[in-house]
Chain A
């Protein structure tokens, strides 16, 4: 059941009504209710994989409690079991076949063929998201940053909370778990904000992402037939597809959580307005970037290390981040490209003249130049993210950066203009919380006209229903 379907449009109001009017007697009933509907929500995809969520939740709940009073080797062993179980499940379902295939392909390069049996397992929806979420809980307990909870219901509800279960934001226990343990009251302002987020999210998903998907699928499947300029536009369209798709989903998730009285972390903050890659990664998939920062980058030494170590730390984080997205070398290369450009940016920023120049030259020209360069790098990297194989990505780019790059792109010019118009709106909203944060417009008719215009766009110009891209991760 996806957020942009009629089924969900019926499901959520029922949940909302039961949550606030029937289960509002006490917090425990509300949590049990959230747990049940979250499992029900997930079972619409595949009820069998509920066992994996249950397994991950049980392991981390039990181990975290034992960690509280354990010391020394016992503490480390318990922590190791949790990491092994969580990453083990993730590895088996997501990476086993990939590593086996890569391993045998490597042997083939040396003329040796070895036979193997792949598992051919179906990837459980959202496994990377809830695994990282529950793992962060154990890590934080192990590091004594939070106390383990004794409330099994709220912990299980925290892991499986349906708005963010299948595609994030990846929440930290320190932020979300306490919200399950304190009384939640209906908040009018917060709920209106939630509705605005949902509407904005639906717009991003259905109008931007789903329409881009139609164009992108055709261009990537038949790239040999198109000019370089058209293919470059195709890469831009994919950039907007994945942005609309993922940030749209996040907005809807955050919006729904607000309607239920929860505050989830912001996951996107107008990333295509970033003036450099460092800024981009502070604005794109924030919950994952900060996860890697806190649980991989900083433990590796962060930026308080030698230049060589700094380079390797950044590259490690981005390669792992690439692989988190999928078991394919294309994701690894995508991560590597970002890692390399980010490292370059970090070192450029360390040059005093460059740093002074960037910090003092505050003009719209340099802002737009920075945004343009960042967008270009991100767009080229997206080609690897979208392509099925590295070879396909390279051929796509070879065709793109040919002499035909300077020809007139074929078709979809109006949609490109529409996207540019959309970016102008983002530019005006960049200091706001989200796309439809228009509380500052005092005129009610104007506010409502904007809402109805967005509703009209969603209903009238929404593309064919496409599965959210990030569900596959």
Chain B
């Protein structure tokens, strides 16, 4: 009876196991943003003068093409300061010409926890596809051995469809800039602002851990005479109006304190920059191609200006 039962289970599970195997093969063989960034940064170690870290605001909003120095964008969607720090620690000794580190800090960056629930799957990709040691992954966590188990089937299926349609799932160029937020997502900035702001509200005000991570990056940069630019990227005015003003002020204060305490830090707050236009946005908190070009050029000027001040 037991034998019959087990045989039937195996037969029943066979198609599911086949799908799992196929998806695993897909994740292991098809190049992604993670594999491409890892490959390119390894190739460009000696050339990189400016390293860009941060989340999607940096990934889509800072195009290294428009910076004077040789830059590489190592930012990624939902990349926390915890991951920024780990990535920086991994690569810092291999970047002999590093002169600038650019890190974007937004409304939730400083309060973001290292193990956020929503984007939990990404940590396995950092480990598997960027050869990053991620301490928050438990040795008993079996998902680190199977990437297809880290995501829901509908997400994996969407990625496979994208690969079939477009021939790639890579969404960034060779310098790491996220290049698929071309014009707009088709929604209205005004109506989407509220929902986006609500989604970004974590009700957390403890910045201690992330400030310590930033300070660790700053301390190393100080040692090698490297400047650190903390940038608060432009966001749509209505989105900004829905955010907690006290928390925004606390973010500003924390960044200003880093500037006061460290001679190599510059804080560039473009959050509500006067040059902002609706046409610069893909959605309420991300720049499109036009906005990325415009604001990378502005950042470039400000970086040059701060150097001249020195």
Contacts and interface: CB of A to CB of B under 8 A. Distances in A.
B148 to A, nearest CB: 10
A455 B2 contact: no
A186 B6 CA distance: 12
Nearest to A21: B2
A460 B161 CA distance: 14
Interface string B110-121: 000000011000
A460 B141 contact: no
A222 B5 CA distance: 49
Count class of interface residues, chain A: 20 to 34
A191 B5 contact: yes
Interface in A397-421: none
Interface string A156-172: 00000000000000000
B142 A10 contact: yes
B22 interface: no
Given A6-B143, A10-B142, A461 B154 contact: yes
Contact-residue bracket for chain B: 20 to 34
B157 A192 contact: no
Contacts of B5: 186, 188, 191-192
A451 interface: yes
Contact of B152 (A448, A455, A462): A462
The secondary-structure label for the interface of chain B is helix
A368 interface: no
Contacts of B9: 195
Given A6-B149, A10-B142, A222-B198, A460 B154 contact: yes
A6 B117 CA distance: 15
Given A186-B1, A455-B16, A464 B118 contact: yes
A465 B194 CA distance: 25
B4 interface: yes
A7 interface: yes
A221 interface: yes
Contacts of A452: 15
B153 interface: yes
A20 interface: yes
B153 A451 contact: no
A354 interface: no
A6 B142 contact: yes
Nearest to B4: A188
Given A7-B141, A186-B1, A464-B118, A221 B198 contact: yes
A425 interface: no
Nearest to A455: B16
Contacts of B140: 7
Interface in A182-197: 186-188, 191-192, 195
B21 to A, nearest CB: 14
A305 interface: no
Given A221-B198, A222-B198, A461-B154, A20 B2 contact: yes
Contacts of A191: 5
A199 to B, nearest CB: 10
Interface in A89-109: none
A174 to B, nearest CB: 29
Contacts of A459: 16, 152-153
Interface string B1-14: 11011000100100
A473 B198 CA distance: 28
Contacts of A10: 142
A448 B153 CA distance: 20
A459 B118 CA distance: 17
Interface in A47-70: none
A447 to B, nearest CB: 11
Contact of A460 (B12, B15, B157): B157
A460 B143 CA distance: 18
A7 B4 contact: no
Interface string A436-473: 00000000000010011001000111101100000000
Given A6-B142, A452-B15, 7 more contacts: A6-B149, A10-B142, A186-B1, A221-B198, A459-B152, A464-B117, A464-B152
Interface of B: 1-2, 4-5, 9, 12, 15-16, 117-118, 140-143, 149, 152-154, 157, 194, 198
| CB-CB nearest 4 A-B residue pairs | A459-B153, A188-B1, A460-B153, A460-B154
